[in-house]
Structure 1
């Protein structure tokens, strides 16, 4: 009983602060190219019982948006890692930004964790192994009660401690904690959203695939659409569209493999 009271005391103290957890994130968008690995640092900002997970450019963009700026422009809807969580209400939401609109995609898939007895030291933290399934993938996680937060990178949460490392068994996606620091404003800028489901998500993705540079809407607005190549010569926009479509097809290895889109 004393341990439980002590644990809850730490949790109350820690949740009253703003904390940032920095994760090195690695992923393969083309599963056939084993050496083609993207790597970037992503941030889990935690305040009270809510958190936002995103890359550093998205956090900077949110800061700009809160100061009435335009923020970051994104092409397409796939491969976006922006996630909001309400830990108290066990609510998880992906935020997809496309053509200036923020779409809210609820994550309703339940994480059923199998906590094993296996333990090891990761950095300075005593960690314990847990397993789960999500998005058509099997995942191995390591969490630590030394950081008493039931949270983790991306959509992952619900363990009795912070997830400091998690990787799918295909070695396509991994998140590893590299830094913990006190945080200031978490910049929650994406509050006006349009709610969608996975079917609508697929519709948006296919719309982008069919018209990556949003040419049709620009033409309807009376704008002239041109593209200048590296040699300074104007190119037919259809050529650029085809190049982008080929790239989308080659990099079709989403983290939610059970929602992989068949573009053909």
Structure 2
């Protein structure tokens, strides 16, 4: 892993969805000192909005993380505020794997005593609540407010999305939030405009938070614990069909599905 002596850090963003040309993904933020590449999945859904979506995306995320490390990436960021498969990916690679939700919440707590998360639809609130509880931050989370938009509807009308986000943000401040974490990485382009509507309230773009966090970990020469995230024992893995692969869309078959070096669980 590069240390602080390395001038450039390679970060791979894994978009845990299948992109078919109709799904719009905002450009990655420019992070000084980082070269960023992106990988989407060849098998999965067009958006992640449920526990089912999380679980279905997991094999592809894990495979993409393995491939990113093998290709020389210094860190991986999973581009979804539900942090799908982040813990599992940490078990099979030794480079840092960062989730936007975890990074965004902890950054919020560096600038405020309590935060709220502005998510997409009301149906997502239980999933976000579980995530907050998993990180034992429920006593620091003032509320979870929904903008009333599906993920794939966020970019349909930017002004309407901002209006909905602003209403949810004001409600969150009334709940006691002193900082706000955007609950979907597709809200990122509205970060500055939303912050202008709430002077004095920090608004956290979780993807930017995750990328900066990944950069810092690499610069410090620190990654996740091999004790906290031990590599799984090698074992045979079977998929339902030889032509099914779950990894990055640009790859020629998945290492897991095609019998590659990790198909027997051989991880570092």
Smaller-chain TM-score bracket: under 0.3
Q: Which has the higher helix share?
A: 2
Task: Give the number of the structure with larger relative contact order, counting CA–CA contacts within 8 Å between residues 6 or more apart.
Answer: 2
Q: Which has the higher strand share?
A: 1
TM-score by length of 2: 0.27
Higher CA-based Rg: 1
TM-score by length of 1: 0.27
